[in-house]
């Protein structure tokens, strides 16, 4: 009786709700299904500044850093508005709420003219979804007509164009490109004083030499506290994706792949690294380090703060901790990538400088031509800059106004008073990173101005950059593929994480590695690799 009533009520009310909704939610079909007609406004000039003859307004939603300034308060954007006659009405959300707000606006059809700097929150799936629905307009004709700088960058960097292009051949989101000397990733650092105390004159180049070094660290009073047993030879920090530090530094020595617990390209073939036979050897090595207490037993669980506090305590030998995060004083040297009997080529991962979906223009925008011309400003190199507007201006402000190169070699830069650091850039000049822009800022700070940053930049330049290897690219998948791959990826990774933790700590014997592989296959490894391989092949074709 009661249950029946519940059901009947549910239906009745559900239907009433639907009727109500039917009225309020009438979708107006815009007609043109993302058609490639270019909108040309009379007020918009085809080239030169100003972009618009009279002031026009564009609404844009953007993601700003926590506590960062409103974009209209930044001097670079103020100057741009003055020179272009385009006024932006920004609706900014901070990193912790942007994703929800952006998704809600799109899902409920209440969106602005543009989305800017969405970082990872504008996924390729979003581009495919809202592009095919006509919410995001195809930028291809606008790039052709209004964006000479973007065109040049696409020619010089076909991978940038490939990453921006959707599977249907259209470009819905303009990718940003950022490469700087300061943000290049590092693998591992060690205190020179520790090496000296242990009599190590040459940095290890094989895993066996690395192991010997850890043993020496363990048994020498390297930290100088009179106790030769309390050093932590190797520590690391865990993330949701595994133990990135070990996977970037030690795992490539065995597998030759450098994307961690993920897919990579090895000898021209797409492989899933945790299913490679060499992965077993990597786990065996970690298990040995674990058993001999060379590897910190907190490595898989400690938080970043615990990890850094440990590093600063001076009791840690090897850790992937940037000198910029450590105390001044010791000289830290960067380790080199290692080799092993299973892999003789030292490799270091190349971080992808491309962030897709950094700028999209929606079908609400009345001035897509002007918007595209505005975006194009930031894809200029230093030489092509008009009024100083360029990709590097986004990063550090206009050259000659806020910063300059120390000499013609362009290896070092310094700030111009009153700007002292990137703090000042962020608060008063520019958004700094992840804007839709092409940034290639390879100069480093001078050693006097920032000695630890110099330590890091030099270490990376000398010991890592020579071994860089291309990794699996941001190859696009169809939404169906992405859905399936996403589910499989989560399932596979969960199992890999669970089992590798057990293998390393010895809770599970490595004799069971075959059973582990079988289980991966049962979860659907083959299907997953097929999707990833197809996507890679398509990408390789597009990037030619």
- Per DSSP, the three-state class of 87 is strand
Spell out the residues 6+ positions from residue 536 whose beta carbon is closer than 8 angstroms to its own: 265, 270, 472, 473, 475
Q: For other proteins, which is the closer residue by CB, 9 or 515? A: 9
If one asks whether residue 93 binds other proteins (CB under 8 A), the answer comes out as: yes
In sequence order, the β-bridge partners of residue 441 are 180
Q: For other proteins, which is the closer residue by CB, 151 or 428? A: 428
39, 41, 65, 145: residue in contact with other proteins (rule CB under 8 A): 65
37, 48, 96, 169: residue in contact with other proteins (rule CB under 8 A): 96
Do the Cβ atoms of 272 and 263 come closer than 8 Å? yes
13, 228, 351, 515: residue in contact with other proteins (rule CB under 8 A): 13
482, 525, 535, 542: residue in contact with other proteins (rule CB under 8 A): 482
Distance CA 373, CA 359 (A): 13
E strand residue ranges, 65-193? 86-94, 114-116, 173-180, 189-191
Stretch touching other proteins by CB under 8 A, among 59-67, 165-173, 222-230, 331-339: 59-67
36, 109, 230, 465: residue in contact with other proteins (rule CB under 8 A): 109
If one asks whether residue 229 binds other proteins (CB under 8 A), the answer comes out as: no
Q: Tell which residue, 246, 252, 266, 466, has the closest CA to residue 339.
A: 252
CA atoms within 13 A on the CB side of 173: 33
If one asks whether residue 517 binds other proteins (CB under 8 A), the answer comes out as: no
If one asks whether residue 4 binds other proteins (CB under 8 A), the answer comes out as: no
Q: For other proteins, which is the closer residue by CB, 123 or 381? A: 123
Backbone angles phi, psi at 393, to 5 degrees: -65, -35
If one asks whether residue 266 binds other proteins (CB under 8 A), the answer comes out as: no
**Which 164-193 positions form the footprint of other proteins (CB under 8 A)?**
182-183
Q: Which helix (H) or strand (E) covers residue 263, if one does?
A: strand 263-266
If one asks whether residue 3 binds other proteins (CB under 8 A), the answer comes out as: yes
Tell me the number of residues near other proteins by CB under 8 A. 99
36, 57, 78, 421: residue in contact with other proteins (rule CB under 8 A): 421
If one asks whether residue 319 binds other proteins (CB under 8 A), the answer comes out as: no
Q: Which helix (H) or strand (E) covers residue 332, if one does?
A: strand 332-334
If one asks whether residue 138 binds other proteins (CB under 8 A), the answer comes out as: no
Rounded to a whole number of angstroms, the minimum distance from the CB of residue 344 to other proteins is 29
Rounded to a whole number of angstroms, the minimum distance from the CB of residue 267 to other proteins is 28
Distance CA 335, CA 190 (A): 7
- Six token digits for residue 543: 């990037």
């Amino acid at each position: 009786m009661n249950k029946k009533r519940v059901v009947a009520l549910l239906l009745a009310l559900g239907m009433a709700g639907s009727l109500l909704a039917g009225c309020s939610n009438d979708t107006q079909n815009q007609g043109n299904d993302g058609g490639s007609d270019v909108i040309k406004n009379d007020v918009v000039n085809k080239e030169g500044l100003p972009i618009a003859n009279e002031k026009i307004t564009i609404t844009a939603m953007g993601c700003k850093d926590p506590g960062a300034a409103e974009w209209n308060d930044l001097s670079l954007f103020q100057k741009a508005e003055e020179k272009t006659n385009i006024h932006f009405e920004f609706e900014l959300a901070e990193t912790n709420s942007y994703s929800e707000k952006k998704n809600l606006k799109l899902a409920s059809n209440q969106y602005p003219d543009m989305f800017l700097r969405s970082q990872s929150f504008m996924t390729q799936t979003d581009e495919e979804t809202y592009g095919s629905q006509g919410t995001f307009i195809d930028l291809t004709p606008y790039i052709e007509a209004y964006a000479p700088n973007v065109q040049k960058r696409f020619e010089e960097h076909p991978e940038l164009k490939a990453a921006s292009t959707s599977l249907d051949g259209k470009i819905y989101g303009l990718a940003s490109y950022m490469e700087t000397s300061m943000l290049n990733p590092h693998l591992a650092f060690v205190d020179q004083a520790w090496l000296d105390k242990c009599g190590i004159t040459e940095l290890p180049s094989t895993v066996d030499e690395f192991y010997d070094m850890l043993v020496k660290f363990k048994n020498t009073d390297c930290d100088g506290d009179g106790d030769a047993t309390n050093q932590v030879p190797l520590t690391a920090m865990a993330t949701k994706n595994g133990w990135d530090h070990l996977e970037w530094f030690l795992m490539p020595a065995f597998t030759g792949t450098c994307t961690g617990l993920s897919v990579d390209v090895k000898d021209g073939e797409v492989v899933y690294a945790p299913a490679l036979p060499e992965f077993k050897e990597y786990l065996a090595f970690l298990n040995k380090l674990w058993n001999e207490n060379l590897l910190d037993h907190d490595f898989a669980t400690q938080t970043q703060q615990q990890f850094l506090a440990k590093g600063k305590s001076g009791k840690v030998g090897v850790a992937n901790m940037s000198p910029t995060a450590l105390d001044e004083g010791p000289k830290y040297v960067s380790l080199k990538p290692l080799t092993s009997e299973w892999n003789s080529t030292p490799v270091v991962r190349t971080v992808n400088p491309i962030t897709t979906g950094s700028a999209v223009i929606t079908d609400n925008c009345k001035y897509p031509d002007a918007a595209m011309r505005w975006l194009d400003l930031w894809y200029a190199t230093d030489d092509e800059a008009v009024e100083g507007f360029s990709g590097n201006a986004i990063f550090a402000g206009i050259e000659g106004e806020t910063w300059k190169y120390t000499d013609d070699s362009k290896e070092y830069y310094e700030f111009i008073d009153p700007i002292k650091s990137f703090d000042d850039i962020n608060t008063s000049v520019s958004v700094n990173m992840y804007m839709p822009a092409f940034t290639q800022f390879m100069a480093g700070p001078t050693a006097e101005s920032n000695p630890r940053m110099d330590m890091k930049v030099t270490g990376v330049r000398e010991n890592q950059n020579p071994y860089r290897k291309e990794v699996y690219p941001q190859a696009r998948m169809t939404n169906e593929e992405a859905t399936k791959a996403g589910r499989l990826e989560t399932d596979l990774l969960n199992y890999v994480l669970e089992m590798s933790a057990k293998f390393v700590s010895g809770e599970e014997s490595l004799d069971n590695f075959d059973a582990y592989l079988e289980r991966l296959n049962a979860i659907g490894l083959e299907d997953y690799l097929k999707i990833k391989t197809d996507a890679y092949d398509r990408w390789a074709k597009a990037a030619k």
